[in-house]
Amino acid sequence: MEFVIVWAMVELLLALILVVATAFISAVFFEAYRRKNNNAHVDAPAIFEDPNSLKQVPCPSIFDPAEKYLSLIVPAFNEELRLPGALDETMNYLQQRAAKDKSFTYEVVIVDDGSVDGTKRVAFEFIKKYTVDNMRIILLGRNHGKGEAIRKGMLHSRGELLLMLDADGATKVNDVEKLEKQIHAVAKQDKFRDSSADNSSFRISDIPIAAFGSRAHLEGKALATRKWYRNFLMKGFHLVVLLAAGPGIRDTQCGFKMFTRAAARKIFTNIRLNRWCFDVEVVYLCKWFKIPMLEISVNWSEIPGSKVNLLSIPNMLWELLLMSVGYRTGMWKIRS
């Protein structure tokens, strides 16, 4: 009798596990299918507002020819306190460089991801100071996630080179020259192999290349100062990233990345993940399109106020799972 009861309990437990597993798998496939066209809505028209004249300025498109040399895309969600310092440092660097090199042109594109504090007000103050030609803000209206903010900024920038950087100023903006130098080096190699290329027709924006700022050289120090469970979780996350996107980039999550216009056009018209794991999808798409990826060490410092916490890990794992299912089943079509 006891054996029958135990066996019945085992059967009940197995049935429950099967039901839960089936429900989870169904939820994954349903959500992946729901997001299959998640990259399409970003094609909707976007508008800049000139805070001086209050006139609406139509956004450029990533498919238009470049009008600036460098675009800097800054995603911002409730960054009223940290944004001013980062923008001051950024504009000081850009103005000094433009004064030395008259051919150097730039723009800063701030993407307000549904902030409920004074982020918009801070941005408008800077735009009034530096003009709408050099600094602009895109208002997403509600919070979509960092991935969506970066994507929107990339798709409506004017640069030959497009740099994404965080609003906290954790990475020094002058490190842009490290990424820029390496991109130019690779572009020249590609051009050198093409004997028919003409110097006058060469444009850096036409060659798909991506350069990723990296904190991997700081990993030893971070391991020594972080709590053991944070190290365990980060190691686990890196393993999942390796399984989802493959090897090649040690630090996928550094918020300092540069793309040529051609690379940004291919990548950000296909991105579907809205939040933290969009960086991993960028790596996946670079591999899909065979875009050269460069990983370059940058100066980085911990800035108080990070929005990534331990509760972000489950959401990251969920998005990585969706990405793997979406691409590997063919539900997420990649347009070239």
The domain spans of the chain are 40-193+204-329
The Cα 95–Cα 237 span in angstroms is 39
Quick check: 229 pLDDT over 60?
no
Exposure class string for 72-85: b at 16+ Cβ within 10 A, else e: bbbbbbbbbebbbe
Quick check: 68 pLDDT over 60?
yes
The Cα 59–Cα 56 span in angstroms is 9
Q: Do 326 and 288 meet the contact criterion of CB atoms below 8 Å apart?
A: no
The amino acid that residue 294 corresponds to is: L
Residues 54-62: contacts with CB within 8 Å, 24+ apart? 57/132, 57/136, 59/138, 59/156, 60/156, 60/157, 60/158, 61/155, 61/156, 62/154, 62/155, 62/156, 62/157, 62/261, 62/264, 62/265, 62/268, 62/269
pLDDT in tens, 45-55: 566 777 777 77
The Cα 248–Cα 241 span in angstroms is 11
Q: What is the CATH number of domain 40-193+204-329?
A: 3.90.550.10
What value does the mean pLDDT take over residues 183-202? 68
pTM of the model: 0.84
Quick check: 225 pLDDT over 90?
no
pLDDT in tens, 149-162: 999 999 999 999 99
In 3-state terms, what secondary structure has residue 65?
Answer: coil
